[in-house]
Amino acid sequence: MVKGRQGERVRLYTRGTVLGYKRSKSNQYPNTSLVQIEGVNTKEEVSWYQGKRMAYIYKAKVKKNGSHYRCIWGKVTRPHGNTGVVRAKFKSNLPPKSMLGLGFSCTQAISKHQEVKGTYHCWCFTTILCYLFFWLMEYLMSNVACTFCFLSGFEFSSGSLVKDILAELWI
């Protein structure tokens, strides 16, 4: 007879966010993905994860082997920069939709804009760079007012200059 579990369950994995592919100024290399692992903030902390296996788990419409969930396995190869981002190689390259979890790049954000009564309305952004990019674009395009839907609940940890600029844009 199997006994029931006693005590608290322990999570034996760490979540991460796919940031994109490794890239240079004009080229991107889809065979290497950049992943930010939760709780890893320095290059030294990455050393424990080097060589460890990763799994990108996603849900598909068609059942395969009795499950809708599928997995792409990969391995942490080395750190990328000093902020805890890792480079990982997966058995097959990660699909581009895997990078939409955290935020949008500026080019994707443009396609998410909708013109409503002469103003641009942002659907969802998580980075200050996108806000500043659109502020610059709006300024260059004859000072069209821009309304940000995500700004109301967003906490900024950077300098007050960015807060002042964004506060002036808020209508």
What's the pLDDT tens digit per position in 94-140? 999 888 654 433 333 334 444 333 333 333 333 344 444 455 555 54
DSSP characters over 24-66: -SS-EEEEEEEEEETT--SHHHHTTTTT-EEEEEEEEEEEETT
Task: Please give the residue that has the higher pLDDT: either 165 or 40.
Answer: 40
Instruction: Give the pLDDT of residue 167.
Output: 58
Q: What does the domain layout of the chain look like in residue ranges?
A: 13-107
The number of angstroms, rounded, from the C-alpha of 102 to the middle of its chain's C-alpha atoms is 3
Going by DSSP bridges, is the β-strand pair 119-122/146-148 parallel, antiparallel, or unpaired?
Answer: parallel
pLDDT single digits (tens) 14-72: 999 999 999 999 999 999 999 999 999 999 999 999 999 999 999 999 999 999 999 99
* CATH class entry, domain 13-107: mainly beta
